[in-house]
Structure formats: C-alpha cells, structure tokens
Amino acid sequence: MAERPEALARLADKLVLALCVILAVWMMSWDEPLRVARGSAWAHRLTSPMERATQVVGELRATHAENEGLRAEIAALRMDLDYLAAVRGRIEELESRAGFYERDHGRLVPATVLELIVSRVPVQAKIRSLTGDSLKAWMPVVNEHGLVGRIRQVLGPDEALVQLLTEEDSRISVEVARTGVTGLLRYDGRRFFIDHVPQGEPVAVGDPVMSSGLGGTVPRGLNIGTVKDVRADSSELFQVVEVASEVRFSAIRNVFVVIDDGPWYSSENDFAPLEPEDAAEAQGPTP
C-alpha cells in the first residue's frame, strides 16, 4: 500500500510535464492569426491592470500638479483680495471725509405688488415683502430697470405703501453719472425732468442718470434712466433736462426693497405706521 503514493509521486512530475506539453502544443497548433489574436488578448488582460494603475497614477500626478497650480492661484487671488480690501477701505475713508455716502446699497428683499394706486398714472403701490423682513419708511424700492420709488408708509409687518417716482411730490436728488451734475427729479404727469440744473452745466443726451445720495433718503448710484433731451435757453436760469426711465410704472409686478439700514436713513425721515382707518383710506382706488 505504501508503494502506491510513491509511484504516484514518481508519476506526478511526468503528468505535470505532459499537461504543460499538451497545452503548449495545443497553442502551437493554432493558425498564426489566431495565435496572435489570442496572445494579444491575453497579454492585454495581463497588462491592463498595470496600464490602469499607470493611468491612475498619471491622473493623480496631473491632479496634484493642477492642485498646486490652483493653490498658487488662490494664494495670488487672496493677496489681490487683501489689496482690494485695503483699497476699498481707503476709498471709503476718502469718501467719508469728502462727505459721500457709503457705497453699500444694502440688501435686496423681494416683494410683490398687491395694488397700484392710480391718479391718471400710477402714483403709489401697495407691496408685500416675500421674506418676512420688516419694512421701514423711506426704504428705497427698485426693480430690474432701476429706482421705482420709496416706502411712504408701513401698513403692517410685511406690507407697505410705496410712493412711486411718478407722484407729484416725489422729489429725489439725482446726478448725471458722467459729469456729477445734480438736480431734483420731477414728474410732470407725462415725463421726468431734472430741475435746478444751471445753464452751462455739462449734460448731454444719452448720459446715464442715477440717484445722487444727497438728501439722505436714497443711496447713491441707483439707476434712474438716461438723459433724453436737453434744452438750454440763455434767457432762462436753468436748463430743461428730460430723463427717460426704463421703469414701466403701470406694469410693475415684482420689486426689491433695499432693507439694510444705511446712512441714508435718518430719524427725522422716519414715518410712524398709519392708523388702521388711515391705512384703509390710503389703499384707495385701484386700477
């Protein structure tokens, strides 16, 4: 019985050799195109993990290099940002010394127009804040085309009555952006004009007009429109400057209230909320 395993052991190497030889001869018996095709496929299968690993390593290196570049770029941008912050600080300091208002125009809060109060043309609008932020009197109201008006009276926690620029006594100080010439914006029922622009002041058709910030109720820089016409009569004291506003006051639906307290607010401009009966009266007729 002990001889059988020994005989098997003696045969084992011959069996392994026979197997290897059979396999090798079997492969050699294939046609050359088949040998090439199968050999290439096996080689590819063997080397594909290495190729993949090489590819991954290459991608990692590229990513690492890209990260290095991005880090350098971030560092450079941070330096630029620091520099710009310093410059901005200096500009604000200079503007403060020169009596200018801060450049911050506040935070915009969306509001929807509930009603338009019309007297030949829309002159007031009742709005509701969509974010629940509390509204205050004299907060500026804008839309995508520029300044629409100011909150005239607060009707509730998130509702207010807006005095549009088209109302007769809505006078705000504006500025011709190109030359800095200032005046008061007035609406005559059909068109906007800038009043009190002395003769000889440089104003040209097409000049952008923005809020000047003077008067303390509207921040500087809000878009009003562009100069449409200039008439300079030497016999008159002031020029007649007509302004075209892009705001369609009869079609405003969504507006933004500039809610952050800015230096343009002053306690003397604050209006107390209306009494309920006054509020009801203020809502008045709607179009």
Partner 1 sequence: MNGARLALFTIFTLIAQVALVPSIAIAGVRPDLTVLLVVIAGLRGGPIVGTLTGFAIGLLQDLLTPETLGMNALAKSIVGWQVGKISGQLALEGPPLYLGLVSAAVLAHDFIYLLALTRLDIVRFLLTFVTHAIPAAIYTGIVALLMAMLALVLGQGALARPQGGRNG
Q: In whole angstroms, what separates CA 188 from the centre of its chain?
A: 34
Phi and psi, residue 49, nearest 5°: -60, -40
What is the x/- site pattern for partner 1, positions 220-239, by CB under 8 A? --------------------
Q: Which is nearer to partner 1, 25 or 272 (CB)?
A: 25
48 belongs to the binding site for partner 1 (CB under 8 A): no
Q: Which is nearer to partner 1, 3 or 13 (CB)?
A: 13
> For residue 43, what are its two tokens?
């080689």
23 belongs to the binding site for partner 1 (CB under 8 A): yes
27 belongs to the binding site for partner 1 (CB under 8 A): yes
89 belongs to the binding site for partner 1 (CB under 8 A): no
Q: For the CB of residue 29, give the shortest distance to partner 1 in the complex, in Å.
A: 8
86 belongs to the binding site for partner 1 (CB under 8 A): no
28 belongs to the binding site for partner 1 (CB under 8 A): yes
Of the residues 8, 39, 64, 246, which one makes contact with partner 1 according to CB under 8 A? 39
72 belongs to the binding site for partner 1 (CB under 8 A): no
43 belongs to the binding site for partner 1 (CB under 8 A): yes
8 belongs to the binding site for partner 1 (CB under 8 A): no
Angle formed by the axes of helices 3-28 and 32-97, nearest 10°: 80
Q: Using CB under 8 A, list all residues that contact partner 1.
A: 10, 12-13, 16-17, 20-21, 23-28, 30, 32, 35-40, 42-43, 46
